[in-house]
Structure 1
């Protein structure tokens, strides 16, 4: 298991986002290392995360639970076949493009060591948004991405560190439950009856999804 590339995005104006100023950092490109990755404060705060990476819409992105986004090269390859076009590392707006690691089937709360120092923890899978759909430019993209379910993983930073391409990735902790990033995506979108089940991972879940799961459970049991 290894890191193929570290990807960062610069702010750019687009007409398919409702972010303040119409700016997005979704166009992420590989950069030469080393790149510092640091813990992030609560949503809306500035600083931390992947050095040099723009977070333009702090209402919905960034914050401690969404400091870093990882996506598997194997899943990009599958989408290349499905879409009939080349997808470079970073093409889905991911900060980390990985190889040999089933990112989508990672457990919520699973921890990875990347390189010698960085430790990150899985908090959720990606729920596709309007900006992602506009960036990819495929009709019905949000529905299609959810149906395929290869969601990647949102990560919080447990221990900071410098990383670069070809760094090894090691799974250093797996919690004792079966809630994966893929299952959490389904629970939050097309299979909401699964939300009570996801509370088994409440200790590690991304805060907004945890609130949704608790609210649903209180209402429907």
Structure 2
């Protein structure tokens, strides 16, 4: 299956009271850029990350959100929502991000990316949008976008194809994992069958389930 990149977005430094970082700085305000951007193992070149305790790192090197899901929010809130408004690096078109399987691999430009987990909304996100109940609404909507790790560094540009080149057989999707870890804990046992999950998440799930490490 092939979609495309609608935009590549980079964040500068934003100083605000709602920023989650102790320094009061955030990189959530991302804007589209022209031309190729380097995707590295540790993140996107030129993209500022404020609260590194919970953002960035190899398992969250890149964040993707679907243009179609952004359009739903624009209608829901009655406001214009442009690329990067969710803090995403990659705005996709015709890519089923919520339905992407954990461990699914995408070629984007010359980079190879692997879906790792959904994004969990935070107070910084709600403060940036100025919508106090956004976390609750975002959780109920359950279209969280996907974090990706970088398996092969490369360059990406708006308009590049996004091609799904591999998909694990376990079938656990970004949307299912999000629901399992938020409003539907009865789905948590399904996540034990996902070897591609980051190790710290696997440990957390086992603790929640009281399961012994295999």
- 1:211 matched to 2:203: yes
Superposed displacement of residue 216, structure 1: 1.6
* Map 1:68-79 → 2, pairs under 5 A: 68-79=62-73
* Map 1:187-206 → 2, pairs under 5 A: 187-201=180-194, 203-206=195-198
- Scaled by the length of structure 2, the TM-score of the pair is 0.95
Task: Write the distance in 1 (CA, Å) between the matches of 2:56 and 2:102.
Answer: 18
Gaps of 5+ in 2: none
State the partner residue of 1:94: 88
Question: In 2 relative to 1, CA 191–28 (structure 1 residues): closer, same or farther, beyond 3 Å?
Answer: same
* Map 1:1-221 → 2, pairs under 5 A: 1-40=3-42, 49-115=43-109, 117-201=110-194, 203-218=195-210
Aligned length: 211
Task: Write the distance in 2 (CA, Å) between the matches of 1:82 and 1:211.
Answer: 36
Superposed displacement of residue 219, structure 1: 5.4
Task: Write the distance in 2 (CA, Å) between the matches of 1:71 and 1:209.
Answer: 21
Aligned to 1:97, the other structure's residue is in SS state: strand
Aligned to 1:195, the other structure's residue is in SS state: helix
Q: CA RMSD in A?
A: 1.5
Task: Write the distance in 2 (CA, Å) between the matches of 1:181 and 1:129.
Answer: 18
Task: Write the distance in 1 (CA, Å) between the matches of 2:52 and 2:199.
Answer: 15
CA contact (8 A) 1:65 1:207 kept: no
Aligned to 2:164, the other structure's residue is in SS state: strand
Superposed displacement of residue 218, structure 1: 2.2
Report runs of 4+ in structure 1 exceeding 4 Å deviation.
none
Gaps of 5+ in 1: 41-48
Superposed displacement of residue 16, structure 1: 0.9
More displaced 10-residue stretch of structure 1: 15-24 or 89-98: 15-24
- Scaled by the length of structure 1, the TM-score of the pair is 0.92
Cα-to-partner distance string for 1:24-66 (whole Å, 9 max, x where unaligned):
00000001121000102xxxxxxxx111001111100001110
More displaced 10-residue stretch of structure 1: 58-67 or 17-26: 17-26
